[in-house]
Amino acid sequence: MERTLAIIKPDAVAGGHVGAILQRVESGGFALRGMRLVRLTRAEAEGFYAVHRDRPFFDSLTAFMSSGPAIVLALEADDAIRRWRELMGSTDPAKAAPGSLRREFGSSIERNATHGSDAPETAATELGYFFRGVELG
């Protein structure tokens, strides 16, 4: 079993897509091990996306991620990291596969509805950013 951090980003929460996305989590065979609504400060969003701090989209991305409430999820499944990224689809919703979460709920390469960790090391770091071990089921 593997765990990944998923985020329902502020655009999808504001758009009323939390229920639909959680339905896809459950029907996709992921076990929920942690779930919380957070409102990130700008500094917390910058910390979470520190790996991207030199990218041209960093300022806009961290403003967006701190613009409203988001849902952070700890998801568990066999091959959870790869399978959650597949369910999300490509970063750019316009290029994401039909039926993927980003295609269905995203509106731009920035406002793309969901986040998923990209490797076991980043999953561990990102899960630790939002959840203490004792909180996880």
Residues that bind Mg ion (CB under 5 A): 118
76 binds ligand UDP (CB under 6 A): no
Interaction partner, residue 129 (ligand UDP, Mg ion, none; CB < 5-8 Å by kind) = none
129 binds ligand UDP (CB under 6 A): no
Instruction: Name which of 128, 126, 135, 123 is nearest 32 in CA terms.
Output: 135
CB 65 within 8 A of CB 9: yes
CB 39 within 8 A of CB 81: no
41 binds ligand UDP (CB under 6 A): no
Where does this chain touch ligand UDP (CB under 6 A) — which range of 20-28, 39-47, 105-113, 122-130? Answer: 105-113
The half-sphere exposure of 19 on its side-chain side, counting CA atoms within 13 A, is 1
Q: How far is the CB of 65 from ligand UDP (least distance, A)?
A: 8
The half-sphere exposure of 108 on its side-chain side, counting CA atoms within 13 A, is 8
Considering beta carbons, is residue 16 or 84 the nearer one to Mg ion? 84
Interaction partner, residue 35 (Mg ion, ligand UDP, none; CB < 5-8 Å by kind) = none
Which residue in the list 115, 116, 127, 131 is annotated as catalytic?
Answer: 115
Taking the alpha carbons of 16, 8, 53, 62 in that order, is the dihedral positive or negative? positive
